[in-house]
Amino acid sequence: MNLQQKIRSWGWIYPTAILCLYGFFANCRPAEPFLTPYLVGPKNISEEVVTNYLFPIWTYSYLALLFPVFLLTDFLRYKPLIMLQGAALVSNYCLLCFSDSLAAMTALQVNYAVVTSTEVAYFSSIYCLVPPERYQQATGYLRAAMLIGYTFGATLSQLLVSLVGTSLFHINAITLGTVSVSLLVSLAIPMPRRGMFFKGAEAGEEAEEQASGSEVEKGGCCQGSLVAGVGVVSQMWAALREGYGSGRVVCWSLWWALATSGYTQVFNYVQLMWDHVEPSSTAAIYNGGVEAVCTLVGAAAAFGVGHVRVSWSRWGELCLGVFSAVGAGAVFLMAFSSSIWLCYAGYVLFKASYMLLITITTFQIAANLSMECYALTFGINTFVALVLQTVITAIIVDESALGLDIVTQFIVYGSYYTAISTVFFIRGLYTACRHHCRPTHPTPHKEVLSSQRL
């Protein structure tokens, strides 16, 4: 029995369960909410070096790796890249546990870029392992597993730090154990027979058939490879045209790229802001608890929006503008507050508003696209967001440029989100007024469908 027959006999449950198990352990990282206190404290690295030197290295490395990893993911059919992610996580926490040099911490940032760039393999693999009618259900399970893993890890670390007084070294050792389990689980993930663009064995067979039917026998293999390569490029180009052929998809994708770059900057540097407002004294910090609360609040917001009936074609852009303004206010609250609790509250509000909007955006983009188009659109949106983030990092954060302090950085991020909210609020008002002044008369079926996309 070949792999495809085995997958059919297992149904969709086995690959979904294995990927969920991997997602749980890979995201159950108790040490992550305390990374900055660990670097600044036990590792004895200054806050300025962490802010203006170490963290920018991750951004630059991520940008360099994302596109080639995206292509390799489909070509190698997902599983090797997921295993690579698991191995990179293990090596990361080995470095954190057993090395103190700045060079090792620099290598860690490059290594972490491998982890983040290979996330596309995890998110996309499910669509080559389950039937299309199970896409939505399997996707929900995968995201739930990641959420539960992250929340469990953050809660566990906070309890260990606050109630037991566990050292940050031992928190990192525990994390090394959980990510090691994820590496072992990745070995059991089925290998898809074909990718979305690179069809694997099937493409090879088709190419051989075309080559064998040719009058010219010499060079038949090269001709088959050329045909397969042209087919991949043509499929990607068709998916690209379909993905960005709609003005609405372009608008949602623009918000995705702009907002995600700002969100990632805030997420990466918020621990430094917390450490600035209240310098770390292990027993008095609640980073893990705050991250757990953020995840739960954000998940509740994302879940709640799935039960809201809204004509997103009319009100979607206005919604992006309003909640982006909420995010901007939350960032300014963190920047100007001298209370750690207000800073925590601002972060919860910021992350919840982003998770709400990114959920809406994801569904709106995916609603009218095939899965191949969605995967490519997701990759391009992520790449554009990363390019913007790299520009921000190079100008604002990098010590070779402005090298701004953490408070000034957050003022810039708040201003950035204010600009995003202004653009989309004005655009949203225009769209809403246009619908009001020139009402359309869609068929009842389409209207109901658009309101129930989420």
Handedness of CA 266, 46, 64, 62 (dihedral sign): negative
Q: Count CB neighbours of 98 within 10 A.
A: 12
Nearest to 59 by CA among 402, 397, 408: 397
Nearest to 397 by CA among 261, 290, 238, 215: 261
- List pLDDT tens digits, range 35-62: 888 888 888 888 888 888 888 898 899 8
The whole-angstrom separation of Cα 183 and Cα 188 is: 10
**Are 172 and 96 a contacting pair, CB within 8 Å?**
yes
9-188 and 235-454: identical CATH topology: yes
Return the domain boundaries, the chain. 9-188, 235-454
Res 28: pLDDT: 92
Angle at which helices 55-75 and 79-98 pack, to 10 degrees? 160
Instruction: Kindly give, in sequence order, each residue whose CB lies less than 8 Å from that of residue 209, ignoring residues fewer than 6 positions away.
Output: none
- List pLDDT tens digits, range 331-387: 999 999 888 899 999 999 998 888 888 877 877 776 666 655 666 777 788 888 889
Q: Count CB neighbours of 120 within 10 A.
A: 22
The whole-angstrom separation of Cα 421 and Cα 418 is: 5
Alpha-carbon radius of gyration of the chain: 23
Q: Mention the CATH class of domain 235-454.
A: mainly alpha
**Are 259 and 420 a contacting pair, CB within 8 Å?**
yes
**Are 227 and 214 a contacting pair, CB within 8 Å?**
no
Q: What does the DSSP assignment read for 241-292?
A: HHHTSSHHHHHHHHHHHHHHHHHHHHHHHHHHHHHHHS---GGG--HHHHHH
Instruction: Kindly give, in sequence order, each residue whose CB lies less than 8 Å from that of residue 214, ignoring residues fewer than 6 positions away.
Output: 220, 223
Nearest to 46 by CA among 111, 102, 110, 92: 102
Res 343: pLDDT: 92
Which residues of the chain are under the pLDDT cut of 70?
Answer: 1-10, 136, 194-246, 280-284, 302-303, 305-308, 310-313, 366-375, 435-436, 438-454
Nearest to 181 by CA among 102, 86, 99, 117: 86
Nearest to 401 by CA among 409, 199, 255: 409
Res 453: pLDDT: 40
Task: Output the CATH code of domain 9-188.
Answer: 1.20.1250
Res 93: pLDDT: 93
Handedness of CA 286, 290, 291, 292 (dihedral sign): positive
Whole-angstrom CA distances from 53 to 43, 113, 280, 350, 398 are 15, 15, 20, 25, 6
Res 208: pLDDT: 45
